[in-house]
Every structure is written in structure tokens, then in C-alpha cells.
Structure 1
Amino acid sequence: MPLIKNSVPKQVDRMSYLFHTDEDRREMLKSIGANSIDEIINDQVPEAVRMKRPLDLPPACNELALTAEMTRLAARNASADSHVCFLGGGAYDHFIPAAVDEIASRGEYYTSYTPYQAEVSQGNLQVMFEYETLVTQLTGLGVSNASLYDGGSAATEAVLMALSMQRGRNKVITTDVVHPQYRDILVAYLKNIDAELVVVPSDENGHSKPMIDAIDDKTACVLIQHPNFVGQLESVSEIAAAAKEAGALTIQVFDPVSLGRLKRPGDMGVDIAIAEGQSLGNPLAYGGPYLGIMACRDELVRRLPGRIAGQTTDRRGKRCWVLTLQTREQHIRREKATSNICSNQTLLALRATVHLSLLGPEGLKETADHCIAKTAYAKEVIAKSDRFEIVGEGPSLKEFVVRDLGADVDGLLAHARDNGLLAGIDMTPMCVGGAEATDASIALPSRYEQCFLVAVTEKRSRVEIDRWAKVLCEAPAMATV
């Protein structure tokens, strides 16, 4: 092809984008008894739905030019690699040791899939067993599955699990400070089954204690998040005790890093604990794939969705691993199954296993301590400005809410992006009547309008936090402060 082209034709031969040669195509057509690719398409695709024009694409180019163009396009994205990241809301910019990538990129792990044939999948089954062991130690609960898709689907799976066990009870109680996206998934799943979702308003400081008054003999489960979506710590033990007294199960959404300092779900009377495992050795990756963590009390194991790997010995007395339990009813009962999950995030679970193994209890505690200290410092420096105020009281693990008294959160965050900062998440669209809150059951309280959610992990330095506060304070405001 020419080294320089002065013009780019609007219509090009689609074949120029395919790596097969003309000879390759002729051989393939000959083997299936067709004269051309168009002939194959015309036989299969009705004329009414065929595109009548060529695709509007630039001409094919060599690898050098293609790499340069893709690099240019990728540079248009703002990411945690290109900007200092204060984003949270379920996905966090935590440090990932190099050993995690090194081990997880080994071919036998990187290309792994669900081990249907346990006898040829000992390595993967061992990883699952090690992962489940770490999760039970982390949560203080008796059993864990081999992971789920992500935190949101895990929350819904936990609710469905509770409903399947609580015959005659169909009420699910949660609050408006549980992750809006998790509630969105829950609404979609419960829409067509016999279940009532009750979303109890939190108090003015963003706590879920008022949900206790809504618990009755029709309640199958309560779903709480601790720390919750707005960064507040909840009275989990008190809520779990009230649920237990009424015969209901307690489901807690937890942050894995928080357990370096906070009580474990099992130690607070929680029956089922779920989490988004992205913060354990998994990159942000523009939103996924992620990892759903799930654990429960021993007596609930028969309703636990997904797969459970166990350790045993073979007939020669050698240690080995097996699929102890899996929800086989998903394959044969279909619509009557407790869960229809068909796989698990083995590679992401492996990364979490390596990450937790490297950290150990002391490393997890140290990570949590860094988050707590740096978050406290960020709250302190931003509160010095007359333009901003902290919403909610009490300590924070790594997230908190800031109100922009300048009434221009969208412009504020855009200004920060232009200065190399991902400064927080605009909460206004998530509030009642907002663009993302299409259903009142998934909305945040209106008091979070003109607010943004900030996350401060162990990666953030004092210099970065000071710069974050300075850039935000210098942003133009829409209203008089």
C-alpha cells in the first residue's frame, strides 16, 4: 500500500479487513460448494434486512499505522493510569502486587474454564478450595462458594437464596443507602416472582437503623451494606438481632478491605455475606469482569448457588480436590431452580486468592489503616473550604460524601478531569428523579443532590490529596457560595 495517502475513500472492500487471502477464500468456498461469500449471505439473509451500502470504514492499514491509531484512540479515555483516581462506589483503585499478574497470567490458569471433569482439573479445583477457605476466614462464616459474577448479582442471588428457604415469607427489606445498582438488579429479578421489595428510607446521617421497625413475620430477609454506599458504618449486630428474632435472615454487603479493621459478618450475626471482590487483586478495567464473593452459615449450604470445591483423599491416600456440591438443578429444573448461575469467575477468584495470600491478616489490616487515615485527612482538607461540606457524621473507612455548595457538581468534576483528577462520582443522577434513578426503589435520597462520592485508597498520597482539594477549590461555581 502507498506510504502516504492524501484522501481516505468512504467505501472500501470489506475483504481488506480479513486476514484470509483470496486463495484461502477460494479453497473454503470450494469445500462447501459455494461460488462466493455473497451467495452464502443471499441464501441466508432476507433482502429486506440486508444493508444496501458498503460500511463507512477507512482503508485497511499495516500494523504500525494500526497500533498508532489505536493508541491515539485509547488516550482519549481517562483512567486510573492516566489520572489520579478518587472514584469508588463499588470499584476501587487499590494497589495490586506484581506477583498477582505473574501467577494469574500462567497459561494453565489464564485459559481455564469451569472444571466439569474434576479428574483433569485438580489445579483449578485446588485454587477454588483455597479461595473458599480464605473467604470463610475473611467473613467468619462456615462455607463459601467458588465465586459468582460480581457483587450486584451476588446480592440478588443471596436474596433469592433466602426467599427459597423462607416458605410463607416473601418480604425483602433493604434501605436507600444500599448500592443503587445492586438494588436495580434486585428489582429486575423480583419483578416477576412472588416477592415484595421494601426500601426503607435511611435517617438524615445515612444510617439504616430505621429498617428494624419494618421487620415483621412476613420478612424473609433484610439486605444491608456495611460500610454502606454513602460511606457510613451501620449497626449490623442490632439489625441482625432484630431480624433473627422475627425469623428472618440477614444478608450483608461488605467491603473485603474493611475486614482488616471491622468485625467480620459472621461475628455480627449475619447469615449470608456477599461482596464485590474487585478490590482484591483485580484491576478496574473500565468496569469488569469482576468477582462476586458469597459465604453463608453451614446450615444454609444446600441452598448456596454455584459450585463448592472440597478437599479429600483418593483411593491411594493422596490429597486431592473435588466438586463437593453444585446446583445441578439449574441444568434439569430450569425455571424451578434456586439459581441459574452456570459458571464462576475462576480467574478473578485466583487473583483474589493470590492477593489475600500475599497480604495476610497483617497486610489487610495495614491496608485498611492506610485507607482510614488518608480518608480522614481528605475530609479534613476539603472541609476547610467554604464551598464544600461533608455529608453525614462519624468515621469513614475509605468513602465519604461531599456537598458542592457551588451547585455545579458536573462542572466541578469536569474541571478536575481537565486537571488530571478523577475527583469523585456525581450523585445527583442517582437521586430521586435523576437520570439513573428510573425507579424509586433504586434511587438515593434527595439530600444527596449536588453531592459527589469520594474514595481514598491506600494508593493516594498526601501530595495527591492536597492537589485534589486545591483543584476542586479553584473550580468555578454556578451559584454564589
Structure 2
Amino acid sequence: MEFRYLPMTETDKKEMLQTIGVSSTDELFSDIPSSVRFQGELNLKKPANEYELKKELTEMANKNASLRQYTSFLGAGVYDHFIPSVVDHVISRSEFYTAYTPYQPEISQGELQAIFEFQTMISELTGMPVANSSMYDGGTSLAEAVNLSAAQTRRKKVLVSQAVHPESRAVIETYARGQNVEIVEIGLKNGLTDLEHLEQELDDTIAGVVIQYPNFFGQIEPLHKVEELIKQQKKTMFIVSSNPLALGYLTPPGEFGADIVVGDTQVFGIAGQFGGPHCGYFATTEKLMRKVPGRLVGQTKDEDGVRGFVLTLQAREQHIRRDKATSNICSNQALNALASSVAMSSIGKHGLRKMATLNMQKARYAIAQCNAAGLEVVYENSSFNEFVVKFSESVPAINDKLFEKGIIGGYDLERHYPELTGHMLIAVTEIRTKEEIDTFVKELGDING
């Protein structure tokens, strides 16, 4: 649907000025001293009619690199996955597209049920009994988990693995600064969290431990070993940031004793774009359900015994009580949560497992092809759909050459890990074909010499 911009006519302008009792625009702004008023002409293009404007904007838009024309092997938190066409059809319906917070359950049953279904699916994927109605994105969701662990344990130090997404770690640092929480980073060993370093830092002053699963390098962290270390310290909370698609195949964090599981559902029904939109999720134990940031939707029955849904356990007011608030989150990503719910529902339980399996299989094939081409795959641990390859040339230079071939290359790890010069993080999803992978590896081999 397109909406036309209807410009103000001179008659409209005169009527408005007369209504407020002034004769001209200059008189309207007469209270502003002439010394600070701009007297010249703005450096703007000449006005264009609708046809000319649409043509110009289309030409500008066509300069963007679209995933419709380019084959992408870029991941690092935003992925190119299959999105069922039903997703856009559902979220474009006006009752969802324009909905705000469903405070009035009697007129918001559709929205409330959609959120409830999202919570249910997140609980099933993570193995956790409680999930909220969504968060802004995975990074803020993880930062909220860190602050919750500090408030719950009354401790002011949190251990965060350097294998956690660097941008998420930056958000954690920002949130923690306001709560005077100290963040201690745990180093890496062969692409995984250094468990020896973790054990050295663990003591009775630690509020929580943050691990990503799979981690930023695509490697699958041994959560059972991390759990054993954390269990030795009473009260210390186990926080896991997880790609929900990977949980369609991997053992869920809830089975490893996680206290809080967070992540981003961009992998389900949300297209990759310039920084968003995203949809964070937040799942936890029943013990913490009243401390969960954001909103919770509960299932109930009305006086006639008919199934219904309401906001439950929390009121918005508890999030605006300054230093006594459980969180500063007063909203959610209901539309994007709906997109993820529709995607998960249409793909189905068995389809989701198959989708996760395809990601792993195709990534394994790409790794085998890279090895066969003489490229250096750095880590040999278990991984999901991302892996790291080391090159003699800089990654930005390689990506420029790949782009000329219609390929969006992987992520330059040197941006956040200075010691990883020439290391590229490559993502392979279920929609990459054998031909696309073969072409990508061949181009990498030719560039690498």
C-alpha cells in the first residue's frame, strides 16, 4: 500500500495563519531574534513532482546491495535465512501492524495470544519454564540478564566470555556502568572460552557467568563443563546467549542448568537489514519470573470458562520506579515477535530441526571444500553454521574482490580481535546452494593464491 504526500496549498496556509491570528509566517516567528534567524536560502534541490521524485529515489535505492542480487556468507549476528511468505501476509494485517501494548485484554485477544505463543515456543526451544514477550534485541536482552544477576545475588562482578558477540559485550558494559557492576572478561583458547581462566576467576563474589552458545566464532561451547564450574559457587548465576535456530538441533541450555537464556530471533522471519529491526528473547526459571524485564502474557479462562489471555505478574509501573525498577524496558518487539512466531509455526517442529540440520551440514560441506582448496580453517571444534578461515590478505580487501563477483563475504574478525589479522568469520545457512558454496570457495582460493 502506498500513501501519497499531499502538500499544503497557499489557501491552506492563509487559513491556518488567520485561525491563529497572525498575518504572515514572518510574524509567526517574530519572537525569534533576527540575529539567530537564517536569512538566506537553504541549499536544497529544486522541488520535484511525484513521478520525478519516485524515479530519483528508486535510482538511489538500486545502488544498495540487496540479498536478492547478491549471495551472502555474512553472519556474525544477522543471517540470511528462508522466510516463509506467510510471515509478511500476517504481520501486514492492520490489527497487528498498528497494535500497541495490549493493556485492554477484552479488545486485544489476538495480539495477546500471538505473544503467548511466542513465549511458549521460546520456552520449548530453550528448555526454560518462563519466557517474556520479547526484548529490543539480543544485545539488550543479554545486558538485562547481567543486571538481573547482579540484583538477584547482590553481587557486583560478572564474568563474560570474550567469545560472546563483541557488540553485545559493549552493550553489557554500558548497562553495567549505570549499576556499578564490574565486568571481567574471560579469555579464549582455540576459539572457545578458556575454562581454566574461568575457574581461576570464579569465587563467591561473582554474580553471574555469561557464555554464548554457539559462540561468536560459531563454535559450540561445552556447557556441561561450564555448569560444573559454576555449581561450585553458591548463588552464581549461569547466563547463556543462544541462537534459537541452533537450539532446533543442539541440547537446550535449560538442560545444562542455565538460570537465564537470552538471544535474538532475527533468524526466524526477520530479514537482515541495516541494524535492525531485531527481536530479543528472555527466558528464565520460575524462581526469577517476577524479576523478568519487559512483559509476560498469561493464559486464563473467563467467567464462562472460555480460554483467554492477559498481561500477568507485572505492571508497567514497576519498570518506571527509578532505582527500584526491575528494568528500564517498558516496551517490546511485538510485531517482530509475531513474525518469528509465524515463521516458527509455518516451519514446524520437525521442519525447524531439519532447518538447523541443513545449516550444520552445509557449513560442514563448505569447511571440507575450503580444506580441499588449501584454505586454512582455523578451529576444529564442533560448530553450528559459522567457521573461521585465515588468509594472507586482509579481509576487507578480499571482500571487495568478492563483491565484484556478486558475493558478500564474511566478517572481518580483526575489527574486534586485533590478534586475528586476516581471519574471516563465514556463515552458511540452509538457503545456500552447493553451486553457491563451490563458487564462493573457488573465488576465495583464487584470491588467496
TM-score if structure 1 supplies the norm length?
0.88
Candidates 213, 229, 236, aligned match of 2:216: 229
SS of corresponding position for 1:126: helix
- Structure 2 distance, partners of 1:50, 1:419, is 51
Look up the match of 1:274.
Answer: 262
RMSD of aligned Cα (Å): 1.8
- Structure 2 distance, partners of 1:107, 1:329, is 28
Candidates 300, 316, 341, aligned match of 1:312: 300
1:13-162 equivalence runs, <5 A:
19-43=7-31, 47=34, 50-162=37-149
SS of corresponding position for 1:312: strand
| Contact 1:330–1:340, Cα closer than 8 Å, also in 2 | no
Once the 2 structures are TM-superposed, how far is the Cα of residue 293 of structure 1 from its aligned partner? Answer: 0.7
Once the 2 structures are TM-superposed, how far is the Cα of residue 408 of structure 1 from its aligned partner? Answer: 2.2
SS of corresponding position for 1:457: coil
1:129-278 equivalence runs, <5 A:
129-167=116-154, 169-210=155-196, 211-247=198-234, 248-278=236-266
- Structure 2 distance, partners of 1:42, 1:380, is 73
- Structure 1 distance, partners of 2:292, 2:59, is 46
Is 1:369 aligned to residue 394 of structure 2? no
- Structure 1 distance, partners of 2:33, 2:156, is 48
Distance 1:332 1:285, change over 3 A: closer
Look up the match of 1:422.
Answer: 408
Look up the match of 1:6.
Answer: none
| Contact 1:305–1:327, Cα closer than 8 Å, also in 2 | no
- Structure 2 distance, partners of 1:112, 1:291, is 16
- Structure 1 distance, partners of 2:373, 2:424, is 15
Distance 1:41 1:413, change over 3 A: farther
Candidates 417, 420, 433, aligned match of 1:461: 433
Q: What is the number of equivalent residue pairs in this alignment? A: 443
Once the 2 structures are TM-superposed, how far is the Cα of residue 70 of structure 1 from its aligned partner? Answer: 1.1
Once the 2 structures are TM-superposed, how far is the Cα of residue 208 of structure 1 from its aligned partner? Answer: 4.1
- Structure 2 distance, partners of 1:474, 1:47, is 65
Once the 2 structures are TM-superposed, how far is the Cα of residue 46 of structure 1 from its aligned partner? Answer: 5.5
- After superposing the two structures, state which structure 1 stretch, 204-213 or 97-106, moved more: 204-213
- Structure 1 distance, partners of 2:75, 2:35, is 47
- Structure 2 distance, partners of 1:267, 1:419, is 44
Once the 2 structures are TM-superposed, how far is the Cα of residue 192 of structure 1 from its aligned partner? Answer: 3.2
The one-character-per-residue Cα deviations of 1:233-269 (angstroms, maximum 9, x if unpaired) are 1011221232133021111011111012100111111
SS of corresponding position for 1:285: coil
- Structure 1 distance, partners of 2:435, 2:132, is 41
- Structure 1 distance, partners of 2:33, 2:110, is 49
Which residue identity lines up with residue 165 of structure 2 in the other structure? H
Once the 2 structures are TM-superposed, how far is the Cα of residue 59 of structure 1 from its aligned partner? Answer: 1.4
| Contact 1:144–1:295, Cα closer than 8 Å, also in 2 | yes
- Structure 2 distance, partners of 1:333, 1:20, is 44
The one-character-per-residue Cα deviations of 1:99-142 (angstroms, maximum 9, x if unpaired) are 11111111101111111223221111111111111111111111
| Contact 1:306–1:327, Cα closer than 8 Å, also in 2 | no
Is 1:355 aligned to residue 343 of structure 2? yes
Which residue identity lines up with residue 440 of structure 2 in the other structure? W
Distance 1:38 1:456, change over 3 A: farther
Is 1:449 aligned to residue 426 of structure 2? no
- After superposing the two structures, state which structure 1 stretch, 88-97 or 189-198, moved more: 189-198
- After superposing the two structures, state which structure 1 stretch, 108-117 or 295-304, moved more: 108-117
SS of corresponding position for 2:185: strand
Gapped regions of structure 1 (runs ≥ 5): 1-16, 433-445
- Structure 2 distance, partners of 1:163, 1:114, is 29
The one-character-per-residue Cα deviations of 1:412-444 (angstroms, maximum 9, x if unpaired) are 101111111111111212124xxxxxxxxxxxx
The one-character-per-residue Cα deviations of 1:191-229 (angstroms, maximum 9, x if unpaired) are 232311100111133334232332110010001001000
| Contact 1:327–1:339, Cα closer than 8 Å, also in 2 | no
Look up the match of 2:324.
Answer: 336
Gapped regions of structure 2 (runs ≥ 5): none
- Structure 2 distance, partners of 1:410, 1:69, is 30
Identity %: 41
Which residue identity lines up with residue 193 of structure 1 in the other structure? Q
Distance 1:370 1:316, change over 3 A: same
SS of corresponding position for 1:191: helix
| Contact 2:186–2:193, Cα closer than 8 Å, also in 1 | no
Which residue identity lines up with residue 405 of structure 2 in the other structure? N
Distance 1:42 1:467, change over 3 A: farther
